[in-house]
Structure 1
Amino acid sequence: MALTDTRLRNFKPGEKPYCESDGGGLYIEVLPTGKRRWGLKYRAQSRKQETVRLGDYPAYTLAEARVWRDDGKALVERGLSPMAIKRGDPIPPDVPPLVKEMTETFIGR
């Protein structure tokens, strides 16, 4: 079930961290401290599952996290790893200009 802002505000911390999915690989992790942070799970060319983090809720809203998820998935479809881009790995020179622009947007978040 997709997340709502009301559900996000009402998540209670537990003894262990837990995750709630929004769909499409986007999830919110609720830590025992009460901190909530966004993450994206995806499979890149290596077919291994990778995870990249956006940041904390409410600094990044649900709407912003969904846009970020869509941008990340678009990068994966073009053969780029969002985690590698966020980490600062060089972008291959044969990447089209539109995709390079998308990577700059993704990094800027």
Structure 2
Amino acid sequence: MEPLEAFGFLDLRVGRVIRAEPNEKAKKPSYKLWVDFGPLGVKTSSAQITHLYRPEDLVGRLVVAAVNLGTRVVAGFPSEVLVLGVPDAEGRVVLLAPEREVPLGGRVF
């Protein structure tokens, strides 16, 4: 399979965090996120992003997420999408996001 063809199987979309709260049941510190993907609806995600982000700072923020990896249950919370990030020099997750406003649900290509 060609690398570009393999990339096509991954469905990456832009969403906006509409709610964020600590996941108290998680073994590792994490947040429960509700992300609006426009025409795809609101999806949930469990994200280990507590080092650099507070729940109130996440609400309204654009994020990039993989939306077609299936649902996992993390500490009793359904995680339907994988919000993407990159580690900084200390290993803390820095969220990926578009550099300007774009329509919710927009596909990354």
Assess same fold via TM > 0.5.
no
Q: TM-score, normalised by structure 2?
A: 0.34
Q: Tell me the TM-score normalized by structure 1.
A: 0.34
Larger radius of gyration: 1
Q: Which has the higher contact order (CA 8 A, sep 6+)?
A: 2
Q: Relative to total residues, which structure has the larger helix share, 1 or 2?
A: 1
